């Protein structure tokens, strides 16, 4: 590698969160497209980096890291940015919501987006209908959190969690493309809406927009990605 980091990505996938974090930290990195149209995530080369075949992977001087939250926390702790330090009194609160976003919200979103992987295809819409009330409850909890605007969620000094939530909200508005998405309305979470609106003006977001073809308002009024290479689906 000619830089300390190499991000294996696909447009508008979970790798987007890592791209935003790297850019916000002003860290040099290379990117390698994982071409999902050719199932590159299942290649022997990629499976050697991540045996689960999921995107993203970040290659580092300490070896490849997979799992979005693990990459984000490793970057934050390594570079002392975008998260409270281990000795900071706010660290515990940050961690519990970070793992909520990863283990609870993101896991439920995978059921929404890929229901056919969890149940017979004929029952997929029923499963999606069942998970939406849970997702709305998650958003309500997060909006209450955003109302208090802890330091690590403030849009003027975003954390890795701020960007993680912004991307998840983007995906809720867009995916799955052929299913009912009327259940999600950004205006229902006004405090989160304020945060993601301000994130759209940050240089890291503008760089991601250009790199992955995300459109001018990727969090508040998202459109499907029109990337210069690869596919978002």
Residue 14 covered by a domain: no
Residue 101 covered by a domain: yes
Residue 123 covered by a domain: yes
What pLDDT is recorded for position 194?
Answer: 97
Identify how many contiguous H helices and E strands the chain contains and give both numbers: 9, 4
> What radius of gyration do the chain's Cα atoms show?
17
Residue 103 covered by a domain: yes
Residue 152 covered by a domain: yes
Q: Residues in the chain, how many? A: 233
C-alpha–C-alpha distance, residues 230 and 233, integer Å: 9
What pLDDT is recorded for position 140?
Answer: 98
Please calculate the CA angle 114-120-122 and round it to the nearest 5 degrees. 95
Which ranges of the chain have pLDDT less than 70? none
The pTM (predicted TM-score) of the whole model is 0.96
Instruction: Give the single-character DSSP code of 103.
Output: I
Quick one: which of 158, 147, 140, 161 has its CA closest to 194? Answer: 147
What pLDDT is recorded for position 229?
Answer: 83
What pLDDT is recorded for position 231?
Answer: 80
Burial code (b: 16+ CB inside 10 Å, e: under 16) for 12-50 equals bbbbbbbbbbbbbbeeebebeebebeeebbeeeebeebb
The pair of structure tokens assigned to 27 is: 């860290």
Residue 168 covered by a domain: yes
Residue 172 covered by a domain: yes
Query: Tokens 């009024």 label which residue?
Result: 221
What pLDDT is recorded for position 98?
Answer: 98
In terms of residue numbers, what domain contains 96? 91-202
Please calculate the CA angle 215-100-95 and round it to the nearest 5 degrees. 100
* H or E stretch covering 90: none
Return all residues near 50 (Cβ < 8 A) that are at least 6 apart. Answer: 57, 64, 66
What pLDDT is recorded for position 163?
Answer: 98
Residue 80 covered by a domain: no
What pLDDT is recorded for position 232?
Answer: 75
What pLDDT is recorded for position 228?
Answer: 87
Give the number of domains in the chain. Answer: 1
């Amino acid at each position: 590698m000619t830089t300390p980091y190499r991000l294996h990505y696909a447009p508008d996938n979970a790798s987007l969160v890592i791209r935003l974090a790297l850019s916000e930290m002003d860290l040099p990195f290379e990117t390698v497209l994982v071409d999902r149209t050719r199932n590159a995530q299942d290649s022997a080369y990629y499976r050697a980096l991540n045996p689960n075949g999921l995107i993203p992977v970040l290659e580092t001087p300490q070896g490849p890291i997979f799992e979005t939250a693990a990459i984000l926390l490793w970057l934050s702790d390594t570079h002392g940015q975008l998260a409270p330090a281990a000795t900071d009194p706010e660290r515990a609160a940050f961690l519990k919501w970070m793992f909520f976003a990863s283990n609870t919200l993101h896991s439920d979103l995978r059921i929404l987006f890929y229901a056919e992987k969890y149940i017979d295809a004929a029952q997929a819409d029923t499963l999606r209908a069942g998970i939406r009330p849970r997702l709305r409850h998650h958003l309500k909890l997060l909006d209450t959190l955003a109302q208090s605007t802890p330091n690590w969620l403030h849009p003027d000094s975003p954390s890795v969690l701020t960007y993680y939530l912004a991307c998840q909200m983007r995906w809720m508005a867009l995916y799955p493309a052929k299913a009912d998405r009327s259940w999600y309305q950004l205006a229902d979470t006004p405090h989160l809406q304020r945060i993601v609106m301000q994130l759209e003006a940050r240089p890291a977001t503008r760089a991601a927009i250009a790199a992955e073809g995300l459109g001018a308002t990727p969090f508040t009024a998202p459109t499907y990605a029109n990337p210069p290479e690869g596919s978002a689906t």
